A and B are shown apart, each in its own frame.
Chain A
Amino acid sequence: MSPGTARRSRARDGFVPPILAVPAVIGLALLVLPLAALVARVDWTTFWPDITSQPALDALRLSVVTGLIATVACTILGVPLALVIARSGARTAAVLRAIVTVPLVLPPMVGGIALLFLFGRRGWFGALGLQIPFTTTAVVIAQTFVALPFLVLALEGALRTSGVAFERTAAALGAGRWTILRRVTLPLAAPGLLAGVILCFARAIGEFGATALFAGNAPGVTQTMPLAIYTAFNGAGVSQGTAVALALLLLITAVAVLLLVRAWRPGTPR
């Protein structure tokens, strides 16, 4: 490194107290060490058969498909919701934001029970003859329920920050509302949207509690990876090695999808 780059990188360091590196490293270790311990427990002799077994592949396929569908659903519903919150007055926005945050605070199991009461046979929608619980649709609904807040909150923050000044400018230049949304509002909030989509998918693919209660644990239909792992871990006669292998597979899949989304950046270099 030349002296010039050294000076530049020092300038970029800013003036953060160096001692903060200690908790930062502990925090990082807390995130990484458990995963390292998990990988260390993998039994490599049975790893390949474990992850290529039919139940494992079914669970993986189901997880990825439902996770993607839930993410799309979250985008379709969450973008308009974020727009409404970002463009409403302070009081309304605070109330709406609180409502959106509730599923984040709630234990996912409670969310699952709530969904069951809404869609169950004696629930409001179930009484209409809709049979949703314990189907793949229920998996998607449960995932959407728990993941939607991530997308809405991330995007809403970005929308509020970018404000309406550029929209006004666009309107003054003769652009209609849809053109403004497509060419100004959403591109300006793209970093927030991207972060929201990533968080949303991550949450959906890791979803366990609400799915377990609302959709059940039927292999190939509602048994997503987290449920398959749980089953393998607790299951009678099944070795914990299977659970560990499945967990590693879920981990790799999630990281791969995240990297894929990161690589696709809607034309917004800073």
Chain B
Amino acid sequence: MNGSQGGLSARVRVERGGFRLDVALAADPGETVAVMGPSGAGKSTLLGALAGLVPLAGGEVRVGDRILDGAGGRGGAGDATDGRGASGDAADGRDRAGRGRAGRAASGRVHVAPAARGVVLLGQEPRLFPHLTVRENVAFGPRAQGVPAVRARAEADEWLRRVGLPDRGGDRPGELSGGQQQRVAVARALATGPEALLLDEPLTSLDPETAGGIRDVLRELLGTAVVATHDALDAVVLARRLVVVEDGRVVQSGPVRQVLAAPATPYVAAIAGANRVLGVARGGRWVRDGVVLEASDAASRAAASDDGVELVAIFSPSAARLVPVEALGTGAGDWATTVRRLDPTPAGVRVRTELCDVDIAVEDAAGLASGSPVGVRVAAADVRLRRAGQRIS
């Protein structure tokens, strides 16, 4: 929404105890990038580093044409080279991590203090100043930057209107609900006119309905931004591109839809709600424990062309169907298995079988229990096959 915003590009290398983070990330001007990963993957550390709160062991953070962290005038040539490749892919990141400390130079490194970065970090907690009114909270950033109080307050009212709280400026934060407080926090962050906004699980502590309202606000107002989230919906709604971080490294990145459609790791499959089952290629098909799957698209056939390579089959639980064991065919896409567990979902029941999950309607779950023998059928058109370990970006 802010036409003057620059983009963000960073290679962040952090070492903390035994944990090592090495992530490359780039957002074009006005673009929102989502970062997903399991707990402890390093999402918060990454955002903290971008915000200047976590010291870098190496790498570079660049916003617009300013270097916020990185090699300075002398002694950091190695890192400067790293920085130029910042938007590179994950394989590159892993490679550089191996080189580790070589480029670290204590002297001559640039570090712009958090207050001067033009990058605002918004966390899970709204952290509104309890002693100031809602309006003064939103006006705080502009006033700290020297905007006269009267104008800062007028701007604050405008931001409050944009986040859907036009009449609450005179209230204390304590009089607002959690969702309203988070809206104010969004307004307060945006009011500083940040070059880039960093959001660390901004919707996690809110109920779904409240979160949905704020998601709409964010979709409308976000400019250059990095959003760490554990909810694929945030990524889909807010971001064009998704970077998946596991164990301190990028394991997959690309347009959100593509990443979720072709999960490269079990974690990504889990957030995408997809089945991702490892097998081997045989005769152009996917085979595991006597189960055979076929796929009809060209990329899948190409992936399965070499006999013996490890192959993952990816299909959605809603694409799989349960059939009576006696109705099973003998060809690809039909197999017999047993029920491990039944989980309720908003839409019905998720049947966990030995090999994969199958979504069915509640009424179809009648008579099923752990250990029930069932047949599973998946159509070739719903299956995609990928080489295991293949990176999709």
Contact = CB atoms under 8 A, between A and B. Distances in A.
B120 interface: yes
Interface string A167-194: 0111111111001000110011010000
A174 B129 contact: no
Contacts of A169: 127, 129
Contact of A172 (B115, B129, B131): B115
B192 interface: yes
A166 B127 contact: yes
B189 A173 contact: yes
A187 B136 CA distance: 13
Given A168-B53, A170-B140, A176 B115 contact: yes
A171 to B, nearest CB: 5
B131 A268 contact: yes
B127 A173 contact: no
Interface string B81-116: 000000000000000000000000000000001111
A237 interface: no
A173 B192 contact: yes
Contacts of A269: 172
Given A168-B53, A179-B144, A183-B140, A174 B131 contact: no
A190 B129 CA distance: 13
Given A176-B144, A179-B144, A183-B140, A171 B114 contact: yes
Interface of A: 165-166, 168-176, 179, 183-184, 187-188, 190, 267-269
B134 interface: no
A174 B121 contact: no
For the complex of A and B, 9 pairs with smallest distance between CB atoms: A175-B144, A173-B141, A171-B115, A187-B131, A169-B127, A171-B114, A268-B131, A179-B144, A174-B144
A174 B145 contact: yes
A159 to B, nearest CB: 14
Nearest to B136: A183
Interface string B149-177: 00000000000000000000000100000
16 contacts: A166-B127, A169-B127, A169-B129, A171-B115, A173-B115, A173-B141, A173-B144, A173-B188, A173-B192, A174-B141, A175-B115, A175-B140, A176-B144, A183-B132, A183-B140, A190-B131
Contacts of B235: none
B116 A172 contact: no
Contacts of B367: none
B8 interface: no
Contacts of B129: 166, 169-170, 184, 188
A175 B132 CA distance: 15
A173 B120 contact: yes
A168 B52 CA distance: 11
A169 B131 CA distance: 14
A173 B53 contact: no
Q: Which of A171, A190, A268 has the most CB of B within 10 A?
A: A171
B290 interface: no
Contacts of B250: none
Nearest to B121: A172
A269 B173 CA distance: 12
A268 B189 CA distance: 23
Q: Which of A183, A267, A269 has the most CB of B within 10 A?
A: A183
A175 to B, nearest CB: 4
A172 B120 contact: yes
B73 interface: no
Nearest to A188: B131
Given A171-B114, A174-B141, A267-B131, 13 more contacts: A166-B127, A172-B115, A173-B144, A173-B188, A174-B145, A175-B140, A175-B141, A176-B144, A183-B144, A184-B129, A188-B130, A190-B131, A269-B172
Nearest to A187: B131
Contacts of B144: 170, 173-176, 179, 183
A73 B307 CA distance: 85
Contacts of A188: 129-131
Contacts of A267: 131
Given A166-B127, A188-B130, A174 B192 contact: yes
Interface in B44-58: 51, 53
B116 A174 contact: yes
A172 B189 CA distance: 9
Contacts of A172: 51, 114-115, 120-121
A176 B141 CA distance: 10
A59 to B, nearest CB: 40
A174 B115 contact: yes
Contacts of B116: 174
A67 B374 CA distance: 87
Nearest to A179: B144
Interface in B30-78: 51, 53
A115 to B, nearest CB: 38
Contacts of B125: 165
A165 B125 CA distance: 10
A188 to B, nearest CB: 6
A267 B144 CA distance: 19
A224 B115 CA distance: 50
Contacts of A175: 115, 140-141, 144
Interface string B314-341: 0000000000000000000000000000
A183 B139 CA distance: 12
Contacts of A174: 115-116, 118, 120, 141, 144-145, 192
A267 B172 CA distance: 12
A267 B113 CA distance: 30
Interface string B195-235: 00000000000000000000000000000000000000000
Contacts of A173: 115, 120, 140-141, 144, 188-189, 192
A176 B145 CA distance: 9
B18 to A, nearest CB: 23
Contacts of B130: 188
